[in-house]
Amino acid sequence: MKAMMTSDSPIPPIVIQKYGGSSVASLEKIEAIAQRVVARQAMGYGVVVVVSAMGDATDQLLQIAFQITPNPSARELDMLLSTGERATMALLSIAIQKYGAQSISFTGSQSGIITNDSHACARIIAVRPYRIQDELERGKIVIVAGFQGTSYRNEITTLGRGGSDMTAIALAGALNAEACEIYSDVDGVYSADPKVVLDAVKLDELSADAMLTMAQHGAKVLHDEAVAYALRHGIALYAKKSHQPDSTGTLIRPDGWPEHALKASKNRPTAVVTAKYILYLSARDVDITTCLARLTGIDGLKIIDCVCGHRQLELIADIWNCRDFSGIRAALLENSAPGSFCRDDVLNVTLTGIDIGRDPNGLHHALTCLKNDGITPVAIFCQPNAISFVVNSSDCSKASGILHELTR
């Protein structure tokens, strides 16, 4: 279908496409994307493409820096990591030009992505995509390096691991795009990670609220902050598979848990997700204020769930953005009583669904099923729409399968 262009606007309807690391892992893949992007423009769209670093380039760059020193500065790491996306943007632009279209690549800074100055997990505070708009008006395809911006002090920042989704959604909002398509190696959002639970089913659509709960608990197919942004700004998102052009994918509607789901899912969870990268802390006989103050000193750590009692603290935290992990355990456990511990060899397996965490029956049933299969969770955390079981890493796929069965 050809897009409609209004007579008073020089820019056709805009589509934002974002391609993640696995989608641009080789030159063949980059060239295949270039051809598809050119075809999309020919259909009458203004196309902005946001790209991630090729394959596991970000991890490789991190490893190199840590070979030099165990504590590289956050600023220099941002300078280093932002180059991963910059390499992809230039290569894709070169490939697009080879296929006969005009294109230009921009860094986050050139794209007008303004952030605060929290290196490693900066927040976008403004988007001024003037150069992108100018180039779209000239008929060019614009390629943007994801995952990065610039602070008011003109420092290069990065948006946290998986942050290219955030670049795409922020540009979709600022450019008033007709669609924001996030391409990865799966053809949409599934009822569980399809690489872990082999009989997981693809969801044709779901609400941004439900997706947000899943993403916050580890469904990394979409970045949690990007979904939150889409919800706040009323932007529809599509999760699709990159090298399968006809994939219908999953539509994430920018609305809350729907009424019908509320009725249908009473006592019935709608999805299971798995989350890696957690740290579980159980501290006894500690000064809670001091312990929490130590947490604030750990760059990139995000609390997923936390219970504070009298001189007792239990929490699970997302440590995906913690670059310097050495010393965290020691710092957190300093001066705590025997019996306190801090583990990063565990995973968080979460069952999500409306009111699932408020229902003692649901919790009792899920726990019984896990125990019947020999899995005793290290800890359990309940939120209104999620129950998280902290299990040994080796039990992750088994626990995911057991909990996923409950959704069927």
Binding site for ligand ASP (CB under 6 A): 20-21, 52-53, 58, 84, 146-147, 161-164
From ligand ADP, Mg ion, ligand ASP, none, interface partner of 84 (C-beta below 5 to 8 A by class): ligand ASP
Residues that bind Mg ion (CB under 5 A): 20, 162
Shortest CB 161 distance to ligand ASP, Å: 4
Partners of 316 in beta bridges: 280, 305
* The entry of ligand ADP, Mg ion, ligand ASP, none that residue 190 binds, CB within 5 to 8 Å by partner kind: ligand ADP
In 10 A of CB 363, how many CB atoms? 17
The dihedrals phi and psi of 370, each to the nearest 5 degrees, come to -65, -45
Q: Which whole-number Å values give the CA distances from 72 to 78, 184, 323, 324, in the listed order?
A: 10, 30, 9, 8
Q: How far is the CB of 318 from ligand ADP (least distance, A)?
A: 14
Nearer to ligand ADP, 75 or 243 (CB): 243
14-24 burial, b for 16+ CB within 10 Å, e for fewer?
Answer: bbbbbbbbbbb
160 binds ligand ADP (CB under 6 A): no
CA dist., res. 37 & res. 41, Å (int): 6
- Regarding 22 and contact with ligand ADP (CB under 6 A), the answer is yes
Question: Among the candidate windows 81-89, 172-180, 182-190, 385-393, which touches ligand ADP by CB under 6 A?
Answer: 182-190
Query: Binding residue for ligand ADP (CB under 6 A) from 261, 273, 319, 386?
Result: 273
The option from Mg ion, ligand ASP, ligand ADP, none interacting with 22 (CB < 5 to 8 A, set by class) reads ligand ADP
CB of 341 to Mg ion, least distance (A): 31
Give the separation between CA 160 and CA 169, rounded to whole angstroms. Answer: 15
In degrees and rounded to multiples of 5, residue 63 shows phi and psi of: -60, -40
**Closest CB to ligand ASP among residues 20, 357:** 20
Shortest distance in whole angstroms from residue 230 CB to ligand ADP? 15
Where does this chain touch ligand ADP (CB under 6 A) — which range of 6-14, 180-188, 338-346, 365-373?
A: 180-188
Does 60 interact with ligand ADP (rule: CB under 6 A)? no
How would DSSP label each residue in 147-182? SEEEETTS-EEE--TTTHHHHHHHHHHHTT-SEEEE
Out of 17, 23, 107, 213, which residue is the one contacting ligand ADP (CB under 6 A)? 23
| Maximum pairwise Cα distance, the chain | 73
**397 binds ligand ADP, rule: CB under 6 A:** no
Contact of 386 with 274, CB cutoff 8 Å = no
Q: Of 189, 212, 252, 351, which lies in the binding site for ligand ADP, with binding defined by CB under 6 A? A: 189
244 touches 291 (CB < 8 A): no
| Min dist. Cβ of residue 334 to ligand ASP (A) | 31
277: Cβ contacts below 8 Å, ≥ 6 apart:
318, 319, 320
Give the binding-site size for ligand ADP (rule: CB under 6 A).
20
Q: Could you tell me which of 238, 259, 258, 256 has the C-alpha nearest to residue 248?
A: 238
Nearer to Mg ion, 20 or 249 (CB): 20
In whole angstroms, give the CA distance from residue 18 to residue 389. 32
The binder of ligand ADP chosen from 105, 184, 340, 350 (CB under 6 A): 184
- Tokens for 7, please give them: 């007579």
For position 194 contacting ligand ADP by CB under 6 A, the verdict is yes
Chain positions contacting ligand ADP, by CB under 6 A:
20-23, 52, 162, 184-186, 189-190, 192-195, 214, 219-221, 273
